Amino acid sequence: MLEKKVDEKIEGLLSEALRNQHGNGAFHFCFENSLLTDAMMIVLIRMLKLPEKSLLDALVKRLLYKQSKEGYWKLYEDDRGDLSATVLAYQSLLYSGMITCKHSEMKKAEHYIKKWGGIERVDSMTSIFLALNGHLNWPRLFHIPMLFLLIPKASPVSFYDLSSYARAHFAPILLCQDLRYSIKTKWTPDLTHLSMEDRSMKQDIKQAWTAMSQFPSNQLYKARKKAEQYMLQRIESDGTLMNYATATFFMIYAMLALGYEKHAPSIIRAFNGLKGMLCNSNSHLQNSPSTIWDTALLSYTLQEAGLVHAVPSTRAANHYLVRHQQTKYGDWAVTRKGIAPGGWGFSEGNTTHPDVDDTTVALRALKDMKNESSRWHDGVSWLLAMQNQDGGWPAFEPDRQAFLLKDLPIDGARSSFPDDSSADLTGRTVEFLCNYAELNRNHPSIRKGTNWLIRNQESDGSWRGRWGICYIYGTWAALTALKAAGYPSDFTPVRKGIQFLKKIQRHDGGWGESCQSDIQQKFVPLHVSTPSQTAWAVDALSVCKETGDLLNRGVDYLLKKSFDMEERTYPTGAGLPGGFYIRYHSYEVIWPLLALSHYKKLQIQQ
């Protein structure tokens, strides 16, 4: 009976996946992130005087829908309100001109903002956005001199010691800060009633700013040109900066600060590129569409399911993936000279910014090419070259440690400035290299990778994931890696990891973990189970051959005919701790399908 239910569920998930495949072979699902991008888009439309009424209406309507009955906005369901998100939503709704501060819901938001300290208490990213729009003073927010960009790349503290994601945002932000740029329009709302502190420039900050401004003008000019060129050289064909919506917004402000006209071709092209990132009936702006990621994961997962009638779908998806393997040298080449390109990026429009996770999953999907194509081996070679000196793998580029810079008083600096090794990236890479590239734990890269995982296991037996929530995600990646590398289930780190997953199983048979884990850096249970987190746990236990009632209860949860809205929509993807979380619409299909496929194989083996 159970076997029949598993088969039926697999078929149902397959049908759901195929409904989202386009004619070019790609799978398209929404990458639903926090409201930051929607708020910025509302302001941008008004600021640039663009005739986008229907888009503006949709964005405003969605923001209002997302407001809680208490008046605040939040980042995830069990969040008790987020000041920065609430300020962003409040400011952008007023900027739209469609809502006034007298609106009852805005009054509630105003009360919440004042209760939690006013607009001066928001996070760094929101502070920068408020400064750009004339609501806060630049010097009190940001104190990194423009000449920072002229420090040689080989220096222990340089612009290139930041992660690529941080650099994409810093280049335009530093330009705006240096020029003290802000813009007000007829739509700019008055937020002075939300200011709870003295907004005048403090004397010590004023003196520091004055001293900073006394650098030789020719050196400042060189630094500004370097920042401008950094941006311009990384604009993708759709006009966006590295296919990040947030970086593109800051780039547009930087262009205006440099004297570009509002309707300059590069600015309009950037805006149109942003429009191409909309989803949910054009009511939400994705920060970076997950097309490559979703397509590679689904191709690999459908192959794992072994369904003959899915072969045409996976073949089309793989042709799409081959076309999007990157052939250009990106910033990763700064520290890896002599290594050929071969990675994949996260988004379709990304051509110079590959990442480790997308590359491993694309290579998994294309595993049948390894004996007939040098491109597959180029990908493996690139992947091996990205290993950090500590033995783990980063997200984008190796050995970006952000020495000293990560200690700056900027929110998110410790997590976004360096490109540190993480359990999820290291685990998934080791698992791929062992299971598909046929390396074993005696290979130097595998030995270093598994040693990193063993050293970085938490005392409770878990591993912390960086790009998923959080300890379930990291533990799944680490356990599947250690098993692929040949470690037995009674190996102490494997045994402890298994026990951690067993200990946190919920009464309904599933697993659920709160985004609070990402902030508190310890496991925080969620009050409901989620399909993706349950699938990660079930998959890990299946790979470890942990048969029995506990595993079957997890499978039973995945076999439910339907999930409650909160189970389906809770964000299980992570971006920036305490600031940016993602609901991957694909995850309720991909991970249950993969876990059930591996569970079915386990049953057949037994």
Q: What is the pLDDT of residue 424?
A: 98
Question: Which residues are bridge partners to 136 per DSSP?
Answer: none
Q: What is the pLDDT of residue 203?
A: 47
Q: What is the rounded average pLDDT of the residues 40-46?
A: 98
Query: pLDDT grade, residue 371 (50/70/90)?
Result: confident
Range with the poorest average pLDDT among 14-18, 59-63, 149-153, 512-516: 149-153
Closest CA to 424 of 468, 482, 383, 378: 468
Q: How many CB atoms lie within 10 A of CB 190?
A: 10
Whether the pLDDT of residue 584 is over 60: the answer is yes
CA dist 10 and 592 (Å) reads 8
Q: What is the pLDDT of residue 147?
A: 82
The token duo for 359 is 């590359």
- Look up residue 506 and give its DSSP letter: -
Given this chain, do its domains 12-30+288-605 and 31-285 carry the same CATH topology?
yes
Closest CA to 477 of 424, 434, 538: 424
Taking the CA atoms of 227, 577, 56 and 286 in sequence, report the sign of the dihedral they define. positive
Q: What is the pLDDT of residue 34?
A: 94
Whether the pLDDT of residue 196 is over 60: the answer is yes
Closest CA to 251 of 237, 230, 225: 230
357 given a catalytic annotation: yes
Percent of the chain at pLDDT exceeding 70: 96
pLDDT digits (tens, 9 = 90+) for 230-277: 999 999 999 999 999 999 999 999 999 999 999 999 999 999 999 999
Whether the pLDDT of residue 546 is over 80: the answer is yes
CA dist 365 and 317 (Å) reads 9
Q: What is the pLDDT of residue 577?
A: 87
Per the rule left: phi > 0, alpha: psi between -120 and 50, beta: everything else, 411 is beta
Percent of the chain at pLDDT exceeding 90: 83
Do 452 and 387 form a contact (C-beta atoms < 8 A)?
no
What Rg, from alpha-carbon coordinates, does the chain have? 24
Q: What is the pLDDT of residue 580?
A: 94
Active-site annotation holder among 357, 378, 424, 518: 357
Closest CA to 573 of 561, 590, 550, 598: 590
C-alpha torsion 387→389→391→396, nearest 10: -30
Q: What is the rounded average pLDDT of the residues 22-38?
A: 97
CA dist 446 and 189 (Å) reads 56
Q: What is the pLDDT of residue 164?
A: 94
Please name the CATH architecture into which domain 12-30+288-605 falls: Alpha/alpha barrel (1.50)
For 31-285, CATH number out of 3.40.47.10, 1.50.10.20, 3.90.1300.10, 3.20.20.60 equals: 1.50.10.20
∠ Cα 93 412 215 (to 5°) = 95
Taking the CA atoms of 292, 576, 135 and 107 in sequence, report the sign of the dihedral they define. positive
Q: What is the rounded average pLDDT of the residues 418-438?
A: 97
Whether the pLDDT of residue 145 is over 80: the answer is no
Whether the pLDDT of residue 129 is over 50: the answer is yes
The token duo for 413 is 């600096």
Amino acid at 534: T
Q: What is the rounded average pLDDT of the residues 470-496?
A: 98
pTM for the structure as a whole: 0.95
- Look up residue 355 and give its DSSP letter: B
Average pLDDT, the chain: 93
Q: What is the pLDDT of residue 217?
A: 67
Do 545 and 602 form a contact (C-beta atoms < 8 A)?
yes
Q: What is the pLDDT of residue 202?
A: 46
Q: What is the pLDDT of residue 139?
A: 61
Q: What is the pLDDT of residue 198?
A: 52
Q: What is the pLDDT of residue 267?
A: 98
Q: Per-domain residue ranges for the chain?
A: 12-30+288-605, 31-285
Whether the pLDDT of residue 211 is over 70: the answer is no
CA dist 357 and 344 (Å) reads 9
Q: What is the pLDDT of residue 138?
A: 85
Query: pLDDT grade, residue 205 (50/70/90)?
Result: very low
